[in-house]
Chain A
């Protein structure tokens, strides 16, 4: 489904500030895999997401989706396959447009856009049905401007927008980190049910260790641009947060340095 072969990304290459954000990453996801990604600050997690989504072009290596190389395509051309939710709740929606207009734009993800009406009666009914699944009462507020929603509501809407067209790949980069605990919990629950229901192939960066262990069927740990640990479903089942941290220290040789880390 998704495959990365020897992917490297450098910042400020050739200068004194050179940073190796990704160092020959190899990663392969099977259809339906739900992989959680953890690692210290600056480990390269966001860079990994950006190289897959096309925000960044890798300096070396290949990114393949369904066997086709996509790493040279610009971001807007990769959206055909990829749905994304950002860390910043403001980033995934257009604040001065209505809920239904935002959904209409997401509905056309990766498809050509012409002069057909964006919001039709049939689509509105579909949007209502989809919004109702969030259980936030948003289905009664189709014509409200998204800027009036709370951060949690906006993030739930972003999640819906990224997923309701069933992308081949879903990328979540700390999409609950900017929310207060109860809202974060809500969005996490929604993520879990949507991913399971649609069997989306998902890569989710999180700072919540407990969550990283509980969610998904595979866990990878990054440090200094490398994947240093890759834990499959059977081993992940009875893993504890302490074991995970101890393992991190053993392999990387230093403590997990992370300003946002949540142990569970």
Chain B
């Protein structure tokens, strides 16, 4: 129990690092309705760009911004494959993810770049939790604002009713590319922060990130709902934090006997359950409505028979 409490601050810090990933996944998965698997690659791209630039003496902040740019570029290519190349959405993401595996190795030169002794955005003395919390909130608010602009509205409509927004003059190919690009930029920020926080960038750091992002978005939605963009992005940020709290509690609790290596499966299970529940709920509700209605109809038929007898 004590161990769990002691590890909570760490879990929250982790969660805030991953809030950008969660916001990114929210944009593709919920706004654009596009399940984007580029994430596993672009997360690593973010870490790779930041690590290489920092070891070459660039400012950690500039390196993080460059990581965002790198993620955007990766996302733009996925978007191109899907819209102009007319490749299935899932496949576009997978192709880009695989290609990024090689590209990330090229960026780093070696499979693992250490940041030990290098300055990072967390080495200024300010608590990492504060830095990532402020960063996450600022980015969340910027995203909220963006989705209220003319351009942002057209992006949301592209996911909601593409035919309608095309009839009002929006090139939906472009808005998809913009959204996927922005999303992967945010994911890469998480990758850059994660590398700086952990002190190294590794070519396999991104594996499973898409599922963690999805789990965060879904957990957040379950808690906060999605009435407006404001709440939905808040849900994405806190969903990431809750995910890592759940993760830590599950890992630290003695009676569960889970290993770190089990957590990918646990995460996948969370996503599966969260995806299945709404469908099952709908089916159950449908059935109960049908049952009630047929009982009512049977009742009405019985009534008329009685009426006829009197």
Q: Say whether B151 contacts A104, CB under 8 Å.
A: no
B139-160 interface with A by 8 A CB criterion: 146, 148-154, 156-157, 160
| Interchain nearest-CB distance for A32 vs B (Å) | 22
Provided the pairs A113-B150, A114-B150 are in contact, do residues A79 and B160 lie with their beta carbons within 8 angstroms?
no
**Are A114's CB and B153's CB within 8 A?**
no
Closest to A108 in B: B150
- Taking a contact as CB atoms under 8 Å apart, the answer to whether B164 and A92 are in contact is yes
Kindly provide the distance from the CB of B178 to the nearest chain A CB, expressed in whole angstroms. 11
Interface stretch among B90-98, B169-177, B179-187, B297-305? B169-177
Task: Give the contact-size bracket for chain A.
Answer: 20 to 34
CB pair B171–A117 under 8 Å, yes or no, is: no
Question: Taking the complex as formed, is B285 at the interface, i.e. its CB lies under 8 A from any CB of chain A?
Answer: no
Taking a contact as CB atoms under 8 Å apart, the answer to whether A117 and B168 are in contact is no
Complex interface: stretch among A2-10, A56-64, A93-101: A93-101
Q: Would you give the 0/1 interface string for A205-231, flagging 1 where the beta carbon is closer than 8 Å to chain B? A: 000000000000000000000000000
| Interface flags, A73-94, vs B, CB<8A=1, else 0 | 0111101100010100011111
User: B102: CB under 8 A from chain A?
Assistant: no
Distance between B175 CB and nearest chain A CB, rounded to angstroms: 9
Interface residues on B, range: 20 to 34
A109 within 8 A of B: yes
Chain B contact residues: helix, strand, loop or mixed: helix
Q: Is B166 an interface residue (CB 8 A)?
A: yes
Chain A proximity mask over B13-27: 1 for CB below 8 Å, otherwise 0: 000000000000000
Q: A97-B153, A118-B150 are in contact. Are A106 and B168 (CB under 8 A)?
A: yes
- Whether A95 touches B168, Cβ cut-off 8 Å, given contacts A114-B149, A118-B149, is no
Which partner residue on chain A sits nearest B175 by CB separation? A113
Task: Produce 1/0 per residue, B279-300, CB < 8 A to A.
Answer: 0000000000000000000000
Min C-beta distance of A104 to chain B, whole Å: 6
Query: B155's closest neighbor in chain A, by CB?
Result: A113
Of A79, A105, A111, A161, the contact of B153 (CB 8 Å cutoff):
A105
B154 and A91 form a contact (CB under 8 A): no
Q: Do A117 and B166 form a contact, CB below 8 Å, given A94-B157, A97-B157? A: no
* A115 contacts chain B at the CB level, 8 A cutoff: yes
Q: Which B residues lie within 8 Å of A90 (CB)?
A: 161
Known A93-B161, A95-B161, A96-B160; judge A115-B168 contact (CB<8 A): no
Asked if residues A80 and B169 are in contact (CB atoms below 8 Å), the reply is yes
Can you report 24 residue pairs joining A to B where beta carbons are below 8 Å apart?
Answer: A74-B171, A76-B170, A76-B171, A77-B169, A80-B169, A92-B164, A93-B164, A94-B160, A94-B161, A94-B164, A101-B156, A104-B153, A105-B165, A108-B150, A108-B168, A110-B169, A113-B149, A113-B151, A113-B153, A116-B149, A117-B148, A117-B149, A117-B150, A118-B149
Q: Which 9 A-B pairs have the closest CB atoms?
A: A79-B169, A113-B150, A110-B169, A94-B160, A118-B153, A94-B161, A94-B157, A115-B149, A109-B168
Q: A-contacting residues of B (Cβ < 8 Å)?
A: 146, 148-154, 156-157, 160-161, 163-172
